């Protein structure tokens, strides 16, 4: 094989490898495995809710986009067609009960969890909608 052809083939291989890497590991990179993420903050569900209620702007800066580990008494479990939602209720307002809402991971084993139980969970905080603090991708910490 001539030298120029070898160089051409080498560049083509490098180009294909680079494009494949970008496609697989950048463009199609997987969502985080939230169950394995370490919490950035650990606090009671009531402290978390009160922080947002007292100063939403400051709490937004501190907690949004962070993994929170929350402890408290689970007041309500709601199951929809796609997910299970845990509620820690701390107040009442225009939408009825207010508190911390945790949208649990769909494959989380929750059959033994009951309302009224003291529990510790972790989840990804997406903010406060003036009624509830919302955590996504929740999982139970045993």
Of 8 and 18, CB closest to other proteins: 18
For residue 64, the minimal CB distance to other proteins (Å) is: 6
In sequence order, the 6+-apart residues with CB closer than 8 A to the CB of 72 are 44, 45, 46, 88, 100, 118, 119
In the complex, the residues that contact other proteins under the rule CB under 8 A are: 26-32, 60-61, 64-65, 80, 82-83, 93-96, 101, 103, 126-132, 134, 136
For residue 100, the minimal CB distance to other proteins (Å) is: 12
For residue 8, the minimal CB distance to other proteins (Å) is: 28
For residue 49, the minimal CB distance to other proteins (Å) is: 15
Of 3 and 106, CB closest to other proteins: 106
| Closest alpha carbon to 51 in 138, 141, 124, 128 | 128
Q: Helix, strand or coil for residue 9? A: helix
Question: How distant, in Å, are the alpha carbons of 1, 9, 17, 29 from that of 4?
Answer: 8, 9, 20, 36
Q: Helix, strand or coil for residue 13? A: helix
Of 47 and 130, CB closest to other proteins: 130
Of 10 and 22, CB closest to other proteins: 22
Dist. CA 39–CA 65, nearest whole Å = 11
Q: Residue with structure tokens 């494959």?
A: 107
């Amino acid at each position: 094989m001539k030298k120029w052809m070898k160089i051409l083939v080498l560049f083509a291989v490098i180009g294909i490898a680079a494009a494949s890497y970008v496609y697989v590991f950048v463009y199609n990179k997987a969502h985080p495995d939230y169950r394995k993420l370490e919490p950035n903050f650990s606090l009671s569900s009531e402290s978390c809710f009160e922080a947002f209620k007292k100063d939403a702007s400051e709490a937004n800066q501190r907690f949004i986009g962070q993994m929170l580990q929350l402890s408290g008494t689970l007041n309500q479990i709601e199951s929809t067609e796609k997910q299970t939602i845990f509620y820690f209720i701390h107040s009442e307002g225009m939408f009825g009960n207010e508190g911390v809402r945790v949208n649990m991971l769909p494959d989380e084993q929750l059959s033994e969890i009951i309302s009224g139980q003291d529990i510790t969970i972790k989840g990804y905080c997406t903010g406060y909608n003036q009624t509830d603090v919302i955590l996504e991708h929740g999982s139970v910490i045993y």
